[in-house]
Chains A and B, each alone.
Chain A
């Protein structure tokens, strides 16, 4: 028997999301329940890498099959979940999910910075947002979306913050790698363009060359698109 259908059956009957380790334990325990079934013994010591590859493929197959449910990996654990478009009927069936109220805009912004820049201090957060973050941090800590991650090795050894597994669950993310545009936002190094267009043409002095207002024809090099 192949790995994929076995995984499908296991996850279909699982009472909770299963991590790779838990799935491996299932495979390790299977032979003692197998009466002469050779594949249970063969797959007894299946590696986590193989499981992961098979799960990915299974998830892809479900995705391509256009089913009403898919195989999702959230915070490293696998589970079958329904597609969001079927929510009205499921809400009628089982009720709304018990979730705290949605996060405010400032909370989401602060959370985004923590998620991409962790571990990060309050001072760094305030520097990016340009405003104090005390109230917002309180909310995020209380909701278990962020936690203290340690202390920064700078003067005063300020506390640093990072996201929790609860953060991944709340947003349905597999891991921090799964954050949208993760590479770009981790450490943004904005490219300084050659010319900064900041001078009003009407000012008393002619703008210095490097400050000249770029025209359509002479765009500064290295300008971001």
Chain B
């Protein structure tokens, strides 16, 4: 006949069970009688065994610790290991109580997180619809290729004449990559200034690739570049955002 093992889920670990037993005693952790607690703990484990519940190894380790504590105290006073001074790590009782106190604090902290978790489910952020700004700048005209080239020239000036002598690297920037990048950025941000497109650029080749990507997107009518006034700042935006 098959044996049925039931996993006991109520207490996650031995510390959990100890805290439960202490709570039942209605005493402060520091005031708890560990010898009595040891008895209750073992009793509990016996019951679990009787019910043929699978017992985590940690419970047995804890039972052993408790038995150790209990046995120490059965010895006459003069035969007990001398009470250690400040070195608390030596005293198994103190070690256990410290562990219980610490665990209890985190259990309480977990309960507070749970409250926050439930609360956050009911908090709704304000998410206004995208506003329509198209009518704000009626006097826009399309930027010509010459405007674009002179604008990119201004950006390239930043990198000066360093190009004369340099090593040749593998081209990190491809036009295809930059097209995808531009589409993503413009998707998030609707409108961007021409100079902003190149704000993060670190090299000439990156600027050139981005610029070529921009020209390609303009050719494909995915993106439009406009200027509010002659020689003004060029603004780039995705074409659908105006119609859609």
Contacts and interface: CB of A to CB of B under 8 A. Distances in A.
Contacts of A102: 114, 117-118
Interface string B219-238: 00000000000000000000
A81 B124 contact: yes
Interface string A87-130: 10010001011010011011011011101100000000001111
A180 B112 contact: yes
Nearest to A208: B77
A180 B109 contact: yes
Interface stretch (B46-54, B98-106, B164-172, B208-216): B98-106
A35 interface: no
Contacts of B127: 15-16
A108 B114 CA distance: 7
A152 to B, nearest CB: 19
Interface stretch (B31-39, B138-146, B148-156, B174-182): B31-39
B5 interface: no
B106 A109 contact: yes
Interface stretch (A37-45, A52-60, A166-174): A166-174
A213 B31 CA distance: 8
A87 B118 contact: no
A109 B125 CA distance: 28
Given A196-B97, A200-B36, A188 B102 contact: yes
Interface in A158-216: 170-173, 179-181, 184-185, 188, 190, 192-193, 196-200, 203-208, 210-211, 213-214
Interface in A4-24: 12-17
Contacts of A85: 122
Contacts of B113: 108, 111-112, 115, 171, 180
A185 B125 contact: no
B119 interface: yes
A15 B114 contact: no
A224 interface: yes
B125 A223 contact: no
B109 A13 contact: no
Nearest to A106: B12
Nearest to A219: B31
B188 to A, nearest CB: 9
B200 interface: no
B83 A130 contact: no
B62 A130 contact: yes
B88 interface: yes
B105 A185 contact: yes
A67 to B, nearest CB: 12
Contacts of B122: 84-85, 87
Nearest to A79: B125
A186 to B, nearest CB: 11
Nearest to A179: B109
Contacts of B73: 198-200, 203, 207, 211
Contacts of A113: 106
A16 B188 CA distance: 11
A102 B74 CA distance: 47
B119 A84 contact: yes
B117 A171 contact: yes
B162 interface: no
A130 B103 contact: yes
A87 B120 CA distance: 10
A131 interface: yes
A223 to B, nearest CB: 6
6 contacts: A13-B128, A111-B110, A115-B109, A131-B56, A171-B117, A180-B109
Interface of A: 12-17, 69, 72, 79-87, 90, 94, 96-97, 99, 102-103, 105-106, 108-109, 111-113, 115-116, 127-132, 170-173, 179-181, 184-185, 188, 190, 192-193, 196-200, 203-208, 210-211, 213-214, 223-224
Given A172-B120, A200-B36, 12 more contacts: A13-B131, A81-B123, A112-B113, A129-B103, A130-B14, A130-B62, A131-B12, A188-B105, A190-B97, A192-B98, A203-B73, A205-B75
